Structure 1
Amino acid sequence: MSYFHEAVRLSHEGALKALAAAVMRAQEISVPQCICVVDASGETIASLRMDGAKYLSMHTARSKARTAASINAPTGSMPSEFGLAAGIASQGGVTHLPGGLPIRFGGRLAGAIGIGSGTGEQDFDVGRAALKTIEADDV
């Protein structure tokens, strides 16, 4: 019997590189974004609200990142009834809105990124650009 688990952890360098890539992609598509990178337990490693991004979207971006880390899957795939109930029960800590992506290396969860302030498609696009830059698994 083993009494420990080996884990993959996202470094702060990886989080900052992902954040910078997300900012670059958001600038390319001219959509200021709120970006939050969390570790596998949902704790924030790096976050930024770009100039012009909706200020309430910072909370949403954090919720998207924490939800993606918690379920080890992109947000936006939950049935809306479940997502609404989970959001209420968690006081906004869980969301079904698209824009949260797990950060995995070799299939192992290392963290997640949440993007908010654009449409769901724009948020997802910006998040995928961040994953690609740090050579994380594609979602």
Structure 2
Amino acid sequence: MSLTRPALKLTHKGTSVLLAAAVEAAEAMGVPQCIAVVDEGCNLMGFIRMDGSRVLSIESATRKAMTAATTGQQTGNIAPDKALLLAEATSGRMTNLLGGVPLIVNGHIIGGIGVGSGTGEQDLAIANAAVSVFQKHIEEGQTA
């Protein structure tokens, strides 16, 4: 049995790619957003609050990112009973609101992005757009 395991880590450059792509998608949609990016340990790597976004969405965007990074799944799709348990077990730090997407590279969860301030569907579309750009960079051989 091995005593170590390989690990991929999200860098500030990868974080910058995600934030820029999310802002571009939000601007194209005309919906100012709060955008949070966390690493695999739920440490905040980057955050942007666009002009006109809701102040209380700072927390929800961050919690969406943390939930996606922790569970490895998009928020909003977690079974209701499991979502309630996660919220209770984490003192409300995890959420099942739409808009959180995990960052997965080569089968490893390296973090999550959370978007909040629009409708759940808008938040999710913007998060997915950012992850698509990020994945394209990975596929082109750019390190994140």
Shared topology, TM-score over 0.5?
yes
Report the AA paired with residue 61 of structure 1.
Answer: A
Q: SS in structure 2 opposite 1:118? A: coil
Aligned to 2:65: 65
Moved more, 77-86 or 21-30: 77-86
Give the Cα–Cα distance (whole angstroms) in 1 for the partners of residues 101 and 27 of structure 2.
19
Question: Structure 1, residues 20-53: CA drift from partner, whole Å, max 9, x if none?
Answer: 1100100000101000000011110000111100
Structure 1, unmatched stretches of 5+, are none
Give the Cα–Cα distance (whole angstroms) in 2 for the partners of residues 107 and 85 of structure 1.
26
Moved more, 12-21 or 78-87: 78-87
Number of matched pairs:
137
Q: SS in structure 2 opposite 1:63? A: helix
Aligned to 1:9: 9
TM (norm. structure 1) is 0.91
Flag as ranges the 4+ runs of structure 1 deviating above 4 A: none
Aligned to 2:119: 119
Report the AA paired with residue 134 of structure 2.
Answer: I
- Alignment of 1:91 onto 2:120: no
Give the Cα–Cα distance (whole angstroms) in 2 for the partners of residues 104 and 113 of structure 1.
11
Aligned to 1:49: 49
- Alignment of 1:38 onto 2:28: no
Give the Cα–Cα distance (whole angstroms) in 2 for the partners of residues 70 and 20 of structure 1.
23
Report the AA paired with residue 62 of structure 1.
Answer: T
Query: Taking structure 1 as reference, are residues 105 and 85 closer, same or farther at Cα in structure 2, changes over 3 Å only?
Result: closer
Report the AA paired with residue 104 of structure 1.
Answer: I
Aligned to 2:142: none
Give the Cα–Cα distance (whole angstroms) in 2 for the partners of residues 107 and 3 of structure 1.
20
Give the Cα–Cα distance (whole angstroms) in 2 for the partners of residues 106 and 85 of structure 1.
29
Aligned to 1:107: 107
How far off its partner does 1:5 sit?
1.0
Q: SS in structure 1 opposite 2:98? A: coil
Give the Cα–Cα distance (whole angstroms) in 2 for the partners of residues 67 and 135 of structure 1.
20
